[in-house]
């Protein structure tokens, strides 16, 4: 067994050259590190013909904080295993694993460098027609085929154990459900937002609804989630959509992934109030974002129900009307989790470029206030909605 060592570019190049066979032995390879995420090293290795692969390596700590925040290397095993499983049921939207070495916490992946990262594209006002249906397809298929509706109970339970991911889940538990609702050194927001933060932290109804969501996150092993579906984890072009980075994967509540995705679209929605000054352009982009959310939710529900009707293996869960009841609760959960994503990205540790890159601090503050309010209202009101139409009406009323 090889001892773990964190690679530099030369070591990453040597590894790809000697331990894999993507390139001809005589190929002249070049390698550089370009990771800008919160946690890992990311290298691109390419030859003179621009054939390339990505080598991703987990560090034994969180990159964005440093060695003072140790973090398990196990996350590389989890990430590669989630990608393989999700790739089996939804190959067209999952990045391909080409090689893995769990001891070195390395995953070699297909290079998606010809595509763009969704967050940056949305920030620049670009739109993608297939995004809603592609993400819906991914979320519906990956969650259905790893749920009790489909998997035999013993197999499901074995997978829950295989994908137990306590350290990464603890990050989400702290950052989504704890920090924003009390004093935490990790929280990060301007002094001018303190009145809104204090009001939020004194709002017992919000805390109660967040407790419900956290309890679900902690104990509701419904399916194998991606665990971190933000717009920086999605590559796009006009034909394809690819999900990357499921190192936070575990068996959790199905609505969490959908909620995280919607939450990131809504963070962009709020930010566009100040990013785009021309009103017609802003209206178009707002309409696109809202339509993407509605289409994604509707398509997710439709595909999920279709799979439940045609592929369910469990007799009891096939009871007339149960799949509809189940998925309605998943949608309520999704809008609630979406609310927690809006809030934690505004006042917690990990922010988003959509808002952070607004240069004018006064404009940025307005956006932060809107994101907080929207998050709070979704958390409070989503549990009282019965159907996806009610949830959609709620969102529209909050965006007016």
- Point out which residues bind ligand SR1 (CB under 6 A): 38-39, 62, 64, 171-172, 175, 228, 230, 350
Q: Does 79 bind Mg ion (CB under 5 A)?
A: no
317 binds, among Mg ion, ligand SR1, none (CB under 5 to 8 A by kind): none
Token pair 């920090």 is found at 179
Q: 187: which 2 tokens? A: 């929280």
- Annotated ligand binding at 40? The verdict is yes
Does the annotation flag 26 for ligand binding? no
Using a 10 angstrom Cβ sphere, with 0-12 exposed, 13-18 middle and 19 or more buried, the burial of residue 217 is buried
Q: How far is the CB of 109 from ligand SR1 (least distance, A)?
A: 17
Q: What is the CA radius of gyration of the chain?
A: 21
Nearer to ligand SR1, 29 or 234 (CB): 234
- Nearest residue (beta carbon) to Mg ion: 245
CB of 247 to Mg ion, least distance (A): 6
Nearer to ligand SR1 by Cβ, of 308 and 352: the residue is 352
Least distance from ligand SR1 to the Cβ atom of residue 245, Å: 7
Nearer to Mg ion, 200 or 229 (CB): 229
Indicate the residue among 45 and 265 with the shorter CB distance to ligand SR1.
265
Cβ closest to ligand SR1, residue 144 vs residue 250: 250
112 annotated binding-site participant = yes
Q: Is 111 annotated as a binding residue?
A: yes
Give the total of residues touching Mg ion (CB under 5 A).
Answer: 2
Q: How far is the CB of 68 from ligand SR1 (least distance, A)?
A: 12
Binding mask 28-67 for Mg ion (x = CB under 5 A): ---------x------------------------------
> Is residue 245 at the binding interface for Mg ion, with CB under 5 A as the rule?
yes
> C-beta of 79: minimal distance to Mg ion in Å?
9
Q: Which does 64 bind (CB under 5 to 8 A by kind): Mg ion, ligand SR1, none?
A: ligand SR1
Tell me the CA distances in angstroms from 281 to 119, 127, 367, one per residue in order.
18, 12, 18
Determine if residue 247 is labeled as part of a ligand binding site. yes
- Residue 175's binding partner among Mg ion, ligand SR1, none (Cβ under 5 to 8 angstroms by kind) is ligand SR1
314 marked as part of a ligand binding site:
no
Q: Which residues make up the interface to Mg ion (CB under 5 A)?
A: 37, 245
Binding residues for ATP: 40, 56, 110-112, 245-247
């Amino acid at each position: 067994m090889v001892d773990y060592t964190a690679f530099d570019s030369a070591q990453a190049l040597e590894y790809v050259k000697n331990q894999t066979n993507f390139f001809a032995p005589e190929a002249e390879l070049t390698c550089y590190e370009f990771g800008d995420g919160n946690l890992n090293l990311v290298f691109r290795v390419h030859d003179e013909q621009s054939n390339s692969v990505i080598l991703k390596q987990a560090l034994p700590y969180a990159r964005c904080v440093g060695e003072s925040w140790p973090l398990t290397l196990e996350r590389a095993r989890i990430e590669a295993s989630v990608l393989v499983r999700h790739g089996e049921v939804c190959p067209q939207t999952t990045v391909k694993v080409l090689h893995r070495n769990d001891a070195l916490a390395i995953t070699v992946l297909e290079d998606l460098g010809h595509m763009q990262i969704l967050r940056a594209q949305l920030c620049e006002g670009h739109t993608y027609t297939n995004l809603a249906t592609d993400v819906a397809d991914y979320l519906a298929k990956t969650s259905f085929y790893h749920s009790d509706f489909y998997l035999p109970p013993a197999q499901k339970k074995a997978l829950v154990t295989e994908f137990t991911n306590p350290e990464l889940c603890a990050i989400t538990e702290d950052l989504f459900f704890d920090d924003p609702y009390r004093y935490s050194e990790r929280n990060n927001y301007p002094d001018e937002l303190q009145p809104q933060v204090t009001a939020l932290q004194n709002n017992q109804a919000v805390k109660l609804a967040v407790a419900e969501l956290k309890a679900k996150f902690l104990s509701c092993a419904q399916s194998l989630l991606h665990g971190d579906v933000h717009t920086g984890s999605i590559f796009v072009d006009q034909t394809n959509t690819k999900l990357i980075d499921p190192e936070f994967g575990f068996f959790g509540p199905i609505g969490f992934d959908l909620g995280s995705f919607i939450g990131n679209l809504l963070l962009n929605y709020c930010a566009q109030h100040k990013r785009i000054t021309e009103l017609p352009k802003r209206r178009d982009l707002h309409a696109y974002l809202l339509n993407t959310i509605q289409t994604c939710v509707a398509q997710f529900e439709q595909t999920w129900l279709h799979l439940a009707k045609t592929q369910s293996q469990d007799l009891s869960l096939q009871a007339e009307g149960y799949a509809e009841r189940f998925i309605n609760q998943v949608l309520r959960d999704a809008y609630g989790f979406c609310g927690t994503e809006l809030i934690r990205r505004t006042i917690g540790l990990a922010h988003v470029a959509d808002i952070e890159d607004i240069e004018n601090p006064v404009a940025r503050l307005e956006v932060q206030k809107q994101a907080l309010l929207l998050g709070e209202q979704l958390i409070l009101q989503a549990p009282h909605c019965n159907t996806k139409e009610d949830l959609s009406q709620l969102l529209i009323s909050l965006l007016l």
